[in-house]
Amino acid sequence: MTTELGVRRLLAAAGQAPSVLNTQPWRLDVVRHEFVELLADPDRRLRVSDPRGRSQHVSCGAALFNLRLAVRAAGFRPVVWLLPGGQDEPHLLAAVRAAEAPGGRHGGRELYELIWRRRTNREPFSAEPVPPDVLAGLRIAASREGANLVLLDRAGAEEVLDQAATADDELTGDHDYQAELAAWTTPGPRHDGLPPYVRGPRPAGEPVPVRSFGRRAGSARFERHPQIAVLTTPGDRPVDWLRAGQALQRMLLVATLHGVSASFLNQPLDLRDMRGRRDPRHRRGHPQMIIRLGYGPYVARAPRRPARELEISHV
């Protein structure tokens, strides 16, 4: 954090994280060349679909994991404080200090280099299932960050797809929700969000294993039996959401390592948050992300905010 190049590497890595509707709702503040603060960007909060800020925290947690990897790749050990500001500074989500690593080891280099290869893939996947050993690796990745990846069987996946379809129908009639969605998916002066080229085709027939983003160019048949997983956490507080984001990104990078693609079906979770509902306590935890896994084609990267927009100050 003492050089301009070092700071740029941190900004670049954090900026590649996945986020809800590609809002990239984070900013970074490098303080006295000693530590970097990760803050939620209130201007990029989805006020309608994310009233609790859950999705924003999950997104920022993914950026935090990338930040940790960048520190490790530089030969240091990241020391992390979650929510260091407490209730007095609710936008301050984490602080990271670079400590000396034992023997100057460059841990995490493999995952760090995958940061730029990871994509959210909304295209049809092949019928080839993800092998059990790869799925086990994804579960281990999530567990290392304090989360649980629940792999659904065919009946469970069909039930979740039905829930997503029902939620989609209800959200279609919510004008405020649709307006917010359009603000991040309609071409215009905004340089990020979800442009048409990353939204994927419109599903032809059933099931519908991808989120609806309104009008799309073309249609295609998707896999008949999508593989669905649910990422859960023991609690459902801001600190749990941040851990879910870190678990999500670790799992996605491990998936990328094995050539596995992923997209998300979070409409039921959006509807739950918007209606102020709470999940009953379940032994597997509270759902934070619904993930579709499989083998998809190469897709383009969604646009990213310029690094200079992410940095609050550099003193």
Predicted structure pTM score: 0.95
Alpha-carbon span 263 to 272, nearest angstrom: 20
DSSP 8-state assignment for residue 13: H
Q: What are the beta bridge partners of residue 149?
A: 231
Cα–chain-centroid distance for residue 118? 11
CA atoms lying within 13 Å on the CB side of residue 60? 30
Nearest partner of 157 among 296, 294, 20, 291, judged by Cα: 291
C-beta of residue 302 within 8 angstroms of C-beta of residue 12: no
**What domains sit in the chain, N to C, each tagged with a CATH number?**
4-116 (3.40.109.10), 132-294 (3.40.109.10)
Residue 246 amino acid letter: Q
pLDDT tens digits for range 69-121: 999 999 999 999 999 999 899 999 999 999 998 865 656 799 999 999 999 99
3-state secondary structure of 28: strand
Tokens of 93: 């989500």
Within the chain, which residues score under 50 in pLDDT? 315
Alpha carbon distance 219, 167 (integer Å):
21
311-314/26-31 β-pairing? parallel
State the Rg of the chain over Cα: 19
Closest CA relative to residue 119, chosen from 220, 18, 20: 18
Summarised one tens digit per residue, pLDDT across range 110-159 is: 999 999 999 999 999 999 999 999 999 999 999 999 999 999 999 999 99
pLDDT for residue 104: 55
Residue type, 158: E
The pLDDT value recorded for residue 218 is 83
pLDDT at residue number 282 = 65
